[in-house]
Structure 1
Amino acid sequence: MSIHLDSIKTRLVLIITICVFGMLLLVASQIFYTQKLVDLNDKNKSLLRLGQDFLQLRRHEKDFLLRLDLTYVDKFNLQAEQFLRQLAVVQSADEQSVLNQDIFNQLADSFPLYQQQFTTLVQTRIAMGLNENIGYQGEFREATHKLEAKIADANMLYMHQVLLQMRRAEKDFLLRKDMEYVDKELGLYSTLRQSIEALPAKVHAQFMPLLSQYQQHFMQLVDAYRQVGLDHESGLQGRFRNQAHLVEQHFSNLDQQLQQQVDDAQRRVEMTSIMIMLVTSAVLIILLIRSFLTLQRAFSHFVMFFYRCKREYQHMDEKSMGFSEFKYLAAIANEMIDSRRQMERELKAAQDEISRLKQVSTATQSRQPELKKS
């Protein structure tokens, strides 16, 4: 069965096909980009869960620094293992994005440093003593009590007063972490040392080792605090804090990158949908306009044909009809014209024959009287 591309039926089928194809293409693009958006949202949710895990790490870290309880170190380590496993899962699920992989690699490199620095900080705090009875603090406290008891037993009021001032400077340093109080303590230590050196050799031999032990443990504790950091921006605390902020920055960069990808996908959805609708609409409009013009031209030819048929017989140009249906009608109309012409010619011939026969009959009738007379 042949298909006429210039027929009205074909045009209607073509219009319906274009509409259906455009709708299917639009639906397919929506499904495709919706799936991409769903994948990106899943990645974003996974990243949010990673961020929550990291916040839990920061919480355990601060709980330890505040309470000096090793339970929070165990929680930190367990949370860190969970974080690394989740990070590997999220990274493997996003292997297509090279830029995201770079950020994931930076995150995977910076997090172990953060964990290592926290471990170093914990070890230093353990060495310092998690309470006043162990570590550097315990040794220092024991040496302090021995020296204080020895001076009190000797009833040396001036030296006891200087020692109390040293203890005050010591407490001020431990409370405020200000090296000014260490300098003050060193000055008082020199004063007390000079006082002890002025004592008899026997008494000097009893007090000086205790004072030296006290000062040694105090400076050991000061050095440990300086190593940890006298504020949140110095020492181990400062490096640890900067590393934590670096990890958070990687999270922020990754979140921004994923959000940018979501925005790009949404823009592509909008642009693709608009392009499909515009192209489909343009094709339909062009097809409808051409069909309308062809139909109008065909009707005009038929109107002119019937108008001319009142005065003359003239064939229609079948090729100018456009649609095959109108070409078929034009062919039938032309056949009708030919048939009518043939009928008119035959009718005229019959009329001529009748006229001739009438003339012959009239002539015959006019001759009959003459024949009778003769």
Structure 2
Amino acid sequence: MKFDSIKSRLVLMTLICVIGMGMLVVSQHYFTQRLIGLNQQRDALLRMGQDLLQMRRHEKDFLLRHDTEYFDKFLQQSYSFKGRLTTLVPMFNEYRLPVADVESLSASMEAYRGVFQQVVSLQERIGLTQSDGLRGRISELEKTLNEGPLSQSPQARELLTNIQLATRNYQITHEGYYAKLMNEMSERLVSDYRSNTGYGEFVVQYREALLQLVDAFTTFGVTHNEGLRGDFRQSAHNVEIQLKGVDTALQPMIEQQEGQVRIYSLSIAALTSVVLILVLIKSFATFHRAFVNFLTFFYRCKRQYQMIDTRKLGFAELKSLAELANEMVESKRDIEARLASVEAELATKKAS
């Protein structure tokens, strides 16, 4: 198709606008879908952060209240966290992001959950309440000893009371001083009354239970940075750090996609505008040249007969008009020639 007519030029400009708008719509749709996917993953990361905060909350609730209901809630939240984490792997593969970060986060989450399981198991061994675990066993033995023959001896009763007081203080403060007192006084109690029939066995069991309690609390962690509590705290911090690392790895990709949206949109708009402007300039120049030729033609036709050069007009419609004008000039020239011939004949007849 030759674009040598006004109609074809208008069609061309319309096509340029339509194609440019179409490319813009397609690019916007494509990048919008990619951005939606990335932002959905970002939203998943935010929800994972919320899951982690909820897990930390359930962790604190369990350590404070010793209720396994909070451990069940912790597990449910961790499964939700793991499920959202799984959805990140395909996206990381698609954008060639470090999948090792996701795998490392998953491993840290498993370690966090595993250490918490150990904490719960150890707390169950110590006793979720005063009547459970080692604490319940110690209470039963204390009751047995207080109601047995030892209660008849003032020295034994005083020693047993001091051991009980040190035990309660140790469970509250977890200070090594009280653990040392428990060890020394229980050892003295065993050495003094172990040989007595009837309750010597209970004295030995009482000391063993006290030592097991001290060992369990030591394993659990005297402070929040020691023992299982320290490991547990560190594993939670590892999950937080690695979750932040995954979010940091995703953020540049979102910014890159947003930058590509701007670049492609501006490029398509600029290219469409440039092509359209060039077509308009060329069309205007062609039309202006044709208009000047027509103006010159009419100006010269007042003095002499002159034909229009159709090759200089550009547009097919103007060429058609020029051909009609040339025919008019040629016809007028023929008419005037015939008129001059007739006038010459009349003049000759009059003269004769």
CA deviation digits over 1:278-311, x for unaligned, max 9?
2222222222122222212211121122112222
CA deviation digits over 1:14-69, x for unaligned, max 9?
11121222222222222223323333343344444444444444444333322223
- Written as runs of structure 1 = structure 2, the 5 A alignment for 1:227-246 is 227-246=219-238
Q: 2:172 aligns with which of 164, 170, 175?
A: 175
Q: Which has the larger radius of gyration?
A: 1
- Matched position secondary structure for 1:6: coil
Stretch moving more, 270-279 or 66-75: 66-75
**Partner Cα distance (2:87, 2:279) in 1:** 53
- Matched position secondary structure for 1:311: coil
**Partner Cα distance (1:89, 1:16) in 2:** 45
Is 1:337 aligned with 2:329?
A: yes
Q: Which amino acid aligns with 1:324?
A: A
**Partner Cα distance (2:212, 2:242) in 1:** 37
- Matched position secondary structure for 1:99: coil
Number of aligned positions between the proteins: 349
Alpha-carbon distance, 1:5 to partner: 0.7
Q: Is contact 2:190-2:207 (8 Å) kept?
A: no
RMSD: 3.5
Query: Which residue number in structure 2 is paired with residue 289 of structure 1?
Result: 281
Change (3 A) 1:96 1:217: same
Q: Is contact 1:4-1:324 (8 Å) kept?
A: no
**Partner Cα distance (2:320, 2:131) in 1:** 113
Alpha-carbon distance, 1:146 to partner: 5.9
- Written as runs of structure 1 = structure 2, the 5 A alignment for 1:333-372 is 333-359=325-351, 361=352
CA deviation digits over 1:78-124, x for unaligned, max 9?
55445444543554576523326443322322222222112222222
Is 1:218 aligned with 2:216?
A: no
- Matched position secondary structure for 2:97: helix
User: Unpaired runs of 5+ in structure 1?
Assistant: 362-374
Is 1:66 aligned with 2:64?
A: yes
Change (3 A) 1:336 1:244: same
Query: Which residue number in structure 1 is paired with residue 125 of structure 2?
Result: 127
CA deviation digits over 1:326-355, x for unaligned, max 9?
222223333333333333333333334444
**Partner Cα distance (1:328, 1:348) in 2:** 30
Query: Which residue number in structure 1 is paired with residue 269 of structure 2?
Result: 277
Q: Which amino acid aligns with 1:28?
A: V
Q: 1:323 aligns with which of 306, 310, 315?
A: 315
Q: Which amino acid aligns with 1:155?
A: P
Is 1:304 aligned with 2:304?
A: no
Change (3 A) 1:196 1:292: closer
- Identity level (%): 37
Change (3 A) 1:309 1:172: same
Query: Which residue number in structure 2 is paired with residue 18 of structure 1?
Result: 16
Q: Is contact 1:7-1:325 (8 Å) kept?
A: yes
Alpha-carbon distance, 1:204 to partner: 7.6
TM (normalized to structure 1)? 0.77
Q: Which amino acid aligns with 2:60?
A: K
Change (3 A) 1:101 1:196: closer
- Matched position secondary structure for 1:98: coil
Change (3 A) 1:196 1:319: closer
